[in-house]
Structure 1
Amino acid sequence: MAEHTVITTRDDYLAAVDAIAAGNGPIAVDAERASGFRYSQRAYLIQVFRRGAGTFLFDPPAVGRFDELNAAIADEEWVLHAATQDLTCLREVGLDPHTIFDTELAARLLGMPRVGLGTVVEELLGIHLAKEHSAADWSTRPLPEPWLVYAALDVELLPDLRDAIAALLDEAGKTEIAQEEFADELARDLKPVRAEPWRRLSGIHSVRGIRNLAVARELWLSRDELAREIDTAPGRLVPDASLTAAAKAMPETKRALAGLREFNGRASRTEIDRWWAAIEAGRTTTDLPVMRGNGDTLPPPRAWADRNPAADARLKAARAAVTALSEERAIPVENLLTPETLRRVAWAPPAEITAESVGSALADWGARPWQIEATSQIIAQAFVEAHQNAADTAESDS
């Protein structure tokens, strides 16, 4: 295969499969999407490198399914950087590893302050890796040669990086922790279905009034439908700020909508009838949204002192203990235990506080065994101490 040639034909793809299968060691994999340009999160370039085989750049829209490649390498270890960003689009074309080594996640577990690929490669391998094309529109055809050079380097350095990080994990006694985290990434649902995705609209919190919220919802849904239809990132059609401005202004006429200074974007004028129809639908619908999203969302921690003082005390005590442990073990606190998990257990703890009951509660919220082993005892102790301090304060006040 010529250097930096993109594989687009079936014959070249099958030849690449044979070559990769004949290589040795782990398989480095990366994918490039067109986030910010396209609606879909599909892969527009997939890069594969294996020692003894070389580097292969595939054009997924041209190749289609990668079932043969997956059958050849699924049982091998795949090396990715920030795997959760790529696994979904890889699975869409039939690439689904059984074992991974995530160099970005491993770098986090090692306590490295910056974990971007370029930074980690430079620190551990001493190679400067330019990242100027990371936000490019990878749906562009043909892909420029400098982009292909960049894409190839992304995978060619991964096996060496994996070996350097694996040695550091072993030295720090964190190999088993990393393996649990990698397995969790593979098992995780990376495409959770949101009940009301329109509530992700930036600035939605500033929209007051149920009817205004209904208009914001209809505008978001209408934009999302158009974006999906033409495979363009929604924000490139009409920015979020334009939709929230229209929802807050509630223009009385189509002309007034078109005259809104904030209502701008590629499709704000050409699709004015669409946006006006959405506003009218929001004005007249009987299916009114509630002011807050459905679900079991917890109140923000700043409100806990008033709404649930006991939970507030538990959270503050446990958070301090987990933070101290995070520093001691050189693991970022969010990797040691997610803040959401700690908040859940602090808000509604087990009836009887023990390390075992807290550990069970943590498991219910998705904590991994190593996280439970590391934190359940200190969280239980923090909860007990918070309760005792509250009791002592109440006794002294009486």
Structure 2
Amino acid sequence: MDEYRVIETPGAFDEAVDLLLGGEGPIAVDAERASGFRYSQRAYLIQMYRRGAGVFLFDAPAVPDFSALEDGIRAEEWVLHAASQDLACLREVGLDPDHIFDTELAARLLGMPRVGLASVVEELLGVKLAKEHSAADWSTRPLPQSWLKYAALDVELLVDVRDRLVDRLDETGKAALAGQEFDAVLHRAAKPPAAEPWRRLSGIHSMRSPRNLAVARELWVSRDALASETDIAPGRLIPDASIVAVARALPSTRRALADLREFTGRASRSELDRWWSAIEHGLSTDELPAVRVPSDAPPPPRAWAARNPEADIRLKAAKAAVAVIAEQLDMPVENLLTPDFLRRVAWHPPQPADAVSIGTALAQLGARPWQIEATAQIIADAFVEASQSLLDATSEGS
């Protein structure tokens, strides 16, 4: 078996940079984090492969400065699988490409039934990849050889996969639209931090009392502070379900909290004073959170028939029309047009609701030119059809 070496010294780094710059063609890139184990989303291992150079496994925390590598390869095409998952942690260490090819996104645009890396590699190259270490704690040091082999294989075949996908994109006439999609992923602005991130607690949406919500909020804030301080994933300290269970029960004493069976997690008892302090604050604070958060997003479609029947008819007609186009293009509907974009223009259609106005509205939401070209007119036609059916129904009822 090949012995894989982790690059963690200045000399090894300089040698790797020289070899990568001397290679040819696109550069396959991947990153391994420790999601579920660590609070941060930093890269703990960065893998690269280039023809004529080989595979390189960088110990990201041990490399203080990636600029020499960045300067040499930034202008080359980087090949990533599900690039949106890795770009942030790569940028965090100073690695930011000018051009990317996203093999997962290309597979989606081509209508491949399964788009995970192992499935795509098997379909295109006939090679089976073992995925047994995909959820490993990559902050572990030293990294076992079996993990390093897994990490190396994630990039070793990626350029070959890219070449097969390029051929298929050319054959299906999808190369240009794929380029627009890759560019959109590369230049997508980072989401601003949520105003109230604690509301992402799993199970919190069914809670209707401001006091219960206040306790949940204070527990989340306290857990987040401890997680950040210790660089441990919050859910490993106390899971979301524990926070929600405590917020529902509203224990009146520290002892009652300790006796709550649903209150679990590695830090549930060792940090009991911390959690009880948070609960006391939640029980006494005058700063109670709103039960419902104002939003400019349309309500869930299931509520449209009652709240806005005209919009409901528009959405159903447009969804059916867009689905037909997606089937013709052999790609998932959500890759043809983001469902939220369609919901927004159906809820508040531009006036006049013609193809030009709808196209402008979709562009403002973030739709790409090819998506607008493929859908704006059929959405406009669907809206006309919906209005006519509503008129016909009104006439028959009068």
Range into which the TM-score falls when normalised by the shorter chain: over 0.9
Work out the CA distance in 1 between the residues paired with 2:64 and 2:200.
32
Deviation, structure 1 residue 15? 1.5
Question: Is the CA contact (8 Å cut-off) linking 2:3 and 2:145 kept in structure 1?
Answer: no
2:29 is the alignment partner of 1:24: no
Deviation per residue, 1:334-388 (Å, 9 max, x gap)? 0000111100110110121111011011111110000000000000000111011
**Superposed CA RMSD:** 1.0
Work out the CA distance in 2 between the residues paired with 1:158 and 1:190.
26
Question: Is the CA contact (8 Å cut-off) linking 1:66 and 1:95 kept in structure 2?
Answer: yes
- Aligned position for 1:114: 114
Question: Is the CA contact (8 Å cut-off) linking 1:208 and 1:248 kept in structure 2?
Answer: no
Unaligned residue ranges in structure 1 (runs of 5+): none
Identity of aligned residues (%): 68
Work out the CA distance in 2 between the residues paired with 1:189 and 1:263.
38
Question: Is the CA contact (8 Å cut-off) linking 1:363 and 1:372 kept in structure 2?
Answer: yes
Work out the CA distance in 2 between the residues paired with 1:192 and 1:86.
18
Work out the CA distance in 2 between the residues paired with 1:325 and 1:262.
48
Deviation, structure 1 residue 292? 1.6
Work out the CA distance in 2 between the residues paired with 1:145 and 1:43.
18
SS in 1 for 2:46: strand
Deviation per residue, 1:139-187 (Å, 9 max, x gap)? 0000000000010011010010000000000000000010000000011
Question: Is the CA contact (8 Å cut-off) linking 1:84 and 1:190 kept in structure 2?
Answer: no
Deviation, structure 1 residue 189? 2.1
Work out the CA distance in 2 between the residues paired with 1:231 and 1:303.
41
Runs of at least 4 residues of structure 1 off by over 4 A?
Answer: none
Once the two structures are superposed, the pairs formed by residues 173-322 of structure 1 within 5 Å of their partners are 173-322=173-322
Deviation, structure 1 residue 391? 1.1
Work out the CA distance in 2 between the residues paired with 1:332 and 1:30.
25
- Aligned position for 1:148: 148
Work out the CA distance in 1 between the residues paired with 2:15 and 2:267.
44
- Aligned position for 2:103: 103
- Aligned position for 1:340: 340
Question: Is the CA contact (8 Å cut-off) linking 1:199 and 1:293 kept in structure 2?
Answer: no
Work out the CA distance in 2 between the residues paired with 1:206 and 1:225.
25
- Aligned position for 1:157: 157
Size of the aligned set, in residue pairs, is 397
Stretch moving more, 365-374 or 189-198: 189-198
Deviation, structure 1 residue 93? 0.2
Once the two structures are superposed, the pairs formed by residues 131-146 of structure 1 within 5 Å of their partners are 131-146=131-146
Question: Is the CA contact (8 Å cut-off) linking 1:236 and 1:266 kept in structure 2?
Answer: yes
Work out the CA distance in 1 between the residues paired with 2:129 and 2:242.
37
Deviation, structure 1 residue 20? 0.5
Work out the CA distance in 1 between the residues paired with 2:69 and 2:161.
23
- AA matched with 1:289: P
Question: Is the CA contact (8 Å cut-off) linking 2:77 and 2:97 kept in structure 1?
Answer: yes
- Aligned position for 1:396: 396
Deviation, structure 1 residue 71? 0.4
SS in 2 for 1:29: strand
Work out the CA distance in 2 between the residues paired with 1:256 and 1:297.
40
Question: Is the CA contact (8 Å cut-off) linking 2:297 and 2:344 kept in structure 1?
Answer: no
TM-score, L = length of structure 1: 0.98
Deviation, structure 1 residue 294? 3.4
TM-score, L = length of structure 2: 0.98
Question: Is the CA contact (8 Å cut-off) linking 1:32 and 1:138 kept in structure 2?
Answer: yes
Work out the CA distance in 2 between the residues paired with 1:384 and 1:359.
15
Work out the CA distance in 1 between the residues paired with 2:362 and 2:326.
17
- AA matched with 1:364: Q
Work out the CA distance in 2 between the residues paired with 1:87 and 1:308.
40
- Aligned position for 1:7: 7
Distance 1:297 1:283, change over 3 A: farther
Deviation, structure 1 residue 12? 1.1
- AA matched with 1:79: V
Work out the CA distance in 2 between the residues paired with 1:347 and 1:287.
34
- AA matched with 2:356: E
Deviation per residue, 1:38-79 (Å, 9 max, x gap)? 010100000010001111100010002311101000000000
Once the two structures are superposed, the pairs formed by residues 75-90 of structure 1 within 5 Å of their partners are 75-90=75-90
Work out the CA distance in 2 between the residues paired with 1:83 and 1:210.
39
Work out the CA distance in 1 between the residues paired with 2:370 and 2:355.
14
Deviation, structure 1 residue 295? 2.9
- Aligned position for 1:369: 369
Work out the CA distance in 2 between the residues paired with 1:27 and 1:336.
28
Deviation per residue, 1:179-236 (Å, 9 max, x gap)? 0000000111244321111111000012230110111111111111110110011000
2:38 is the alignment partner of 1:41: no
